[in-house]
Amino acid sequence: MENQFFDEKLSENYKNIPVSFVRKILNVAGKKEFISFAGGLPNPDLFPVEEIQKSANEVLKQSAKSILQYAGSMGYHPLREWIADRYAQKYGMKITPEMVVITNGSQQAIDVLSRLFVNHNDGVVIEKPSYLGAIQALSAYQPKFCHVNLENDGANLTEVEDWFMDDGVKLMYAVPNAQNPSGISYSSQKRKQLADLLTCYNKFFIEDDPYNEVYFDEEFPEPVKKYAPENVAWTGSFSKMVAPGLRNGWVVLSPELVPHFDKAKQATDLNPNNLTQHVLHYFLTNNDLDEHLNKIRKKYAEQCQFMLEMIDKYLPEEVGATRPFGGMFIWLTLPEGVSSNNLIERTLKQGVVFVPGNSFFTDGKGQEHIRLNFTNANFPDIEKGIKIMAMALQEMLVGQH
Amino acid sequence: MENQFFDEKLSENYKNIPVSFVRKILNVAGKKEFISFAGGLPNPDLFPVEEIQKSANEVLKQSAKSILQYAGSMGYHPLREWIADRYAQKYGMKITPEMVVITNGSQQAIDVLSRLFVNHNDGVVIEKPSYLGAIQALSAYQPKFCHVNLENDGANLTEVEDWFMDDGVKLMYAVPNAQNPSGISYSSQKRKQLADLLTCYNKFFIEDDPYNEVYFDEEFPEPVKKYAPENVAWTGSFSKMVAPGLRNGWVVLSPELVPHFDKAKQATDLNPNNLTQHVLHYFLTNNDLDEHLNKIRKKYAEQCQFMLEMIDKYLPEEVGATRPFGGMFIWLTLPEGVSSNNLIERTLKQGVVFVPGNSFFTDGKGQEHIRLNFTNANFPDIEKGIKIMAMALQEMLVGQH
């Protein structure tokens, strides 16, 4: 058999999916001896280990036979109720369990929505930078990406409106709360303005919201979904609230979209994991979730604050850094002419790893940026890692002159 | 907002996915008062409930923190080793853990392989009838389906070869062991001949094999994968061996295909469920699996045998029935001119449900067929249900004359 066997046969859709540098680097970063600011791993010290053990024990004691059987493709109804109740109450929105579908992390929601809406060459508005997992999921359907700049309070809405005037543009994807990779959150005003644009131009919006509960000082503003309910699919995730190993997220859809989403999702894997849905539901209804979340919020705020202090202390003044209100990432902007791809070659040799910015751009740009994760390293490692980055950067800057 | 909002926006790929009558009917069949021969549910009385409880308990005691974290996209390595070892040994094949990728049931393997290979209008050979989940997964990439007849010992290979001569045909999909819906298994000879055709014409084959371990009197013949290893992706599933609620299956690929498969899968949901993979691995390595499987084999053989007896006893002689060597389904062929869609209208009123045959055809045909599931009904219900079907059928036949 020739080596070209597969190369000849692979689909155009597949070939359009960009490689995940993040995934590649996670293989390196997973090794013990590295200080890793790469990846997007929650802090495992905050996993509610005992409570999950108890939950698994109890649900398997109570109803193992039904848990171990095939189940509904839309998810476990009591879990859908719990989600609907919490967010209907939090934001004063109309959300019924029938509008909530459980997915394998919010990633599956993005993938299924891409399948549902994207034809080859459909215009899809995304921010520069954008979440790599969404770029990959969308790319598999060969859209035309329409870029808008991401400012400190959200996307540039003039650019968004320019794209929306184009009939070939079908939808927009964004992470309005503590975006991965930038850490930027949309202002309340921009959310309302974006909602107006969506309804005015009749466009669809994937509001990806895995960090909703992971804020620092105060709750994030109300979701875009509240102001344009029909136009928005709003995702959520238990990965950051509870634990990613359970692989459960959800999406809130308008009722007419639910049967379509359900049908598209069935074809991918029949139904979401039944055991972990039950475990989650037991955990959520038998523990004080907000007490648990407050621990995460406090810890991540401290880790973020400390990393920002180290950035201010050690990195050259010309390096810009976002000041996140939540989430798991800080976004650096390097001095002109310095490439993060060159920087990482140096820091890797000294055991420090991060994700170079161009992973989050679909046009190959973004080399002057760096994504730093602050949730999965302790204080001494944060200090040591930033110091090593600073030294490597100094060497490069000296070399430039 | 107009009601057409979504209709206008839905993708061509999505619109090409057929509705699952099976799923629709499962909603009915799930109700207690129905006798259901629909669905494809394993018998929950055979779930190893206590062993799974213990496994969950133990793995969460031993390593909750790593289990609850994000994990590798290819799956838990020890579980991949277990799979590789078992099937390498069983068939004398070269299978390494690096050739095995864990999926959300074998359904996800079919979906990802479809994404990986199918361009719009690529020829895909499938049997008449074929597994509905595969038809749905493949349809989402708009192939041209190339039909071949399914005979009692497997696909008609003359028809297969005719299609393979066409350069526009890229791959074939089939379930050689106890096919869903027909219960038919390929003869050993046809497997070898199909392998020859695959290598000769340079075609790819998705060998979907969820029922491999669920045989009655003797093991199924060796897989096609053995005779054309480079050309075949071979799926497997824990849904029938252990329990579907764990949602874990796998696929054995040739080494060059693995990184492509992995990349395409990452974009769908990042990684398979970590908790249930650990639970499965603990269960498999701390219990006598073959003792467990022998219970399933014995029970299903009895259920199948009893249903066949009832079919012979009550249904008109002109009704044909397959005699499965394993799996979960019997396939009926009704007398000419009788439609299973009309029959089910009558039996539903009397509380009996099955799946009409045309669900398993992509050309709208197959109305003269019925899929009967025998694993999820007890003996009295099997007798009562077949009797009700027989009476309804008699009425229709009388009406015909």
Per-residue pLDDT for A196 more than 90? Answer: yes
Bridging pattern class, strands B352-353 and B35-36: parallel
Phi, psi of B327 (to 5 degrees): 80, -150
Indicate whether A389 pLDDT > 90.
Answer: yes
**Which residues in chain B have their CB less than 8 angstroms from residue A111's CB?**
267-269
pLDDT score recorded for residue B28: 62
Smallest CA–CA distance, residue B314 to chain A, in Å, is 31
Q: Which two tokens stand for residue A203?
A: 């466009």
Q: Verify whether the Cβ–Cβ distance B1 to A60 is below 8 Å.
A: no
CATH number listed for the domain at residues B4-47+291-400: 3.90.1150.10
Average pLDDT, integer, range A273-279: 96
CB contact under 8 A, A10 and B107: no
Q: In angstroms, what separates the C-alpha of B267 from chain A's closest C-alpha?
A: 5
pLDDT in tens, A135-182: 999 999 999 999 999 999 999 999 999 999 999 999 999 999 999 999
What is the C-alpha separation between B19 and B26, in angstroms, rounded? 13
| A53, B60 contact by CB (below 8 A) | yes
Token pair of A385 as six digits: 């890692």
- Using pLDDT thresholds of 50, 70 and 90, give the confidence band for residue A1: very low
Residue in B9, B61, B267 closest to A137 by CB: B267
pLDDT digits (tens, 9 = 90+) for B100-142: 999 999 999 999 999 999 999 999 999 999 999 999 999 999 9
Q: What are the boundaries of each domain within chain A?
A: 4-47+291-400, 50-286
Statement: residue B329 has pLDDT above 60: yes
Residue A178, φ and ψ in degrees, nearest 5? 50, 60
Tell me the pLDDT tens digit for each residue of B139-157: 999 999 999 999 999 999 9
Mean pLDDT across B306-326:
97
Chain B positions touching A266 (Cβ under 8 A) are 20, 23, 133, 136
Q: What would the pLDDT profile of B12-65 be if each residue is shown by its tens digit?
A: 999 998 877 666 666 665 566 889 999 889 999 999 999 999 999 999 999 999
pLDDT on residue B364:
84
Residue-wise pLDDT for A218-258, tens only, equals: 999 999 999 999 999 999 999 999 999 999 999 999 999 99
Q: Does domain A50-286 have CATH number 3.40.640.10?
A: yes
Is A42 at the interface with chain B, CB within 8 A?
Answer: yes
d(Cα B168, Cα A248) in Å, to the nearest integer?
40
For residue B1, pLDDT over 50 is answered with no
Which alpha helices (DSSP H) does A270-378 contain, by range? Answer: 274-286, 289-314, 340-349
pLDDT band at B379 (very low <50, low <70, confident <90, very high): very high
Is B104 close to A105, i.e. CB distance below 8 A? Answer: no
Cβ burial, residue B67 (10 Å; 0-12/13-18/19+): buried
Q: What is the mean pLDDT of chain A?
A: 94
337-396 in chain A: CB under 8 A from chain B: none
Domain B70-286 sits in CATH at 3.40.640.10
Give residue A2's pLDDT.
43
pLDDT value, residue B398: 87
The residue type at B352? V
Q: Are A136 and A17 in contact (CB under 8 A)?
A: yes
The pLDDT of residue A31: 61
CA of B211 vs chain A CAs: smallest distance (Å): 16
Instruction: Find, in chain A, the residue whose alpha carbon is nearest to that of B134.
Output: A267
Q: Which chain B positions have a beta carbon within 8 Å of A64's beta carbon?
A: 47, 49, 52-53
Min Cα separation A136/chain B (Å): 5
Q: What is the pTM of this model?
A: 0.95
Determine contact: A32 vs chain B, CB below 8 A: no
Q: How much of chain A, in percent, has pLDDT values that exceed 90? A: 87
Look at residue A364 in the predicted model and tell me its pLDDT. Answer: 83
Q: What is the value of ipTM here, to two decimals?
A: 0.94
- Quick one: pLDDT at residue B18? 85
